[in-house]
Structure 1
Amino acid sequence: MAYVKVAVFLRTNKFNEKTISSIDCLSGSQFFDFFVLANETAGELHFPGVKKISHTVETVCNEIEYVNNEEEMILYSDALFKFIKNRLPDYDYYIMVEDDVHFVSKSSLLIDKIVIYLSDNNCKVDLFASWYRDINSTKEYARWSDNCFKTFNLCVAIFFPLVGLSSRAIDQLDKNRELENANPDRERHLVFCELSVPTALRVAGEFVIKDINEMIPNAYSHDTFKFGLPELLDSQKLTRTGVEMLHPVYDIKGGIAKHYHHAEHTGEIEAFLKFLAEIGKPLSDPVIADFALRALIAIAVRSKKNSSAIAS
């Protein structure tokens, strides 16, 4: 079988234990070429032995005319596919993987399977991602689904942690974004990438869209591949899933910080302390000790405020 030519790029703005884990998983496959798409807006990142494509907010805004600032670079992440294709024009498919995706096999096995699927002579796929579905109400995604209905009279969604696009689909999406950008009523018609990408291709009528689970059964589960608080990289939960990828998964320090900030915002500090205890690391661990102290201080401050309120 002749395999389609695929570029896989890991999108990240950091170098930590989780990034290293993702690089180890995706490097060295015989089925695709691997690159790190490094956001170096905050400073240069070094990934020894790995091909790196650098970008900053400034370089993307200068090159992609419909991206004007950092917020738009995030909201319209499909622009990064065009940025990549400008540098690597000769691939059939481009797959973007966020750095908080975890591959259960700790290898490139899932992406290898996807490449083999795409290489089947009878297979014509232009977009594949998770959570592919129709949106029937503007309540989901709020402003963005409203914009999507106004722009396309239709709204289709995907989830963006792992997305694959054919070369021709990238060209179509770029044309669509240019039309959106030229609209005098631009703010009412620009659409978040998780809606714009599948909807624009569906409306165009000649592009094939598939959910990854349709291509590779049990690639992911809605219960463990979603938006929410992260699992930790060394958690035993990561090996008992029955699926091939999970999201979100953070390194220990980043994951605990995310849980702490959530607890701080919701006031669920006691639940955070329970979470710390369940990690199974000793209190002497510097990261555990730091966040445990922060949590105890937060509880003390809250208790003092409550006491003052009662006294007054």
Structure 2
Amino acid sequence: MADGRSTGSTAPLGVGAAAARLGVAPETLRSWGRRYGLAPNGRTAGGHRRYDDEDMARLLLMQRLVASGAAPAEAARRVLAGDSQPLGGDQATAPAAGGRRAGAGGTVLALPDAPPEARGLARAAARLDAGAVHSILGELLVERGTIATWDTVLRPVLVAAGLRWEQTGAGIDVEHLLSEAVTETLRAHRACQRKPDAGRIVLLTSPPGDWHVLPLHVLAAALAERRTPAQVLGQLPVSALVSAVRRTGASGVFIWSQRPPQSAEQTGQQFPVDALPTSRAPRALVAGGPGWAHGVLDRRVVVSESLADAVDLLAATPR
């Protein structure tokens, strides 16, 4: 291929997987195929079209040319002609300061060890393309489930976005778009799951003043896949949490803390075990997040080691 780059693909890809690799919406690839002749050449044994390595190299070049300022029709003409030189040189993929690379819509997050799907998601977020973020995540959630998508794709991108903001003061728009788009996609994924089993609900919350509630939506989606009823309440004062537990007879309470408490007394306020109403049936009390790393919690509270661990703890409690 003229641009000499490999996408690292080992097997022909469907449109969803190919789009995830590039960080674009599947409809974008379908449009490029219909309008500009960049349809996939590979086929499965059953005759279904798939993008092979050569197809992916063409699509990557198309993306580079459009990023450098070429109109899509002109970019496609140059791709099919084997012209790999972007407008104005090769700035679209040249390394920028700090190991970041310039691309369409701004700076791409550095994810050198992440899988292609994570890099594709990062490119979509850097372009502030919420539609592509929705599409990539939606397909990944269906294909792999919430836990695998979170661990291998979503969390690395969110960490990279946070580090970029801490180190440069830039990219808060990317981080906010990711948070909003991911939350919406997770809600849609939950709505597509089978109806939860009957029984008591699990309440998911954060301490007062801790607004990092995205992990709560991730956990809710993972519980929905296990047919465990759950409700995201966001950050709540102690009195509101106590009221919610009393009114629902919750089978479990999960509290995510991003920031560590300032004192042992505040730790107790963040997870107010003694204030919660008693229950005849077992109730899971689970904490998660870096805020609990050095806190001394009541022995009745289990600190989850991962998303999968929290799901197991909360789904196992009789409802």
Query: What TM-score, normalized to structure 2?
Result: 0.30
Select the structure of larger CA radius of gyration. Answer: 2
Query: What TM-score, normalized to structure 1?
Result: 0.30
Structure with more of its chain in strand, by fraction: 1
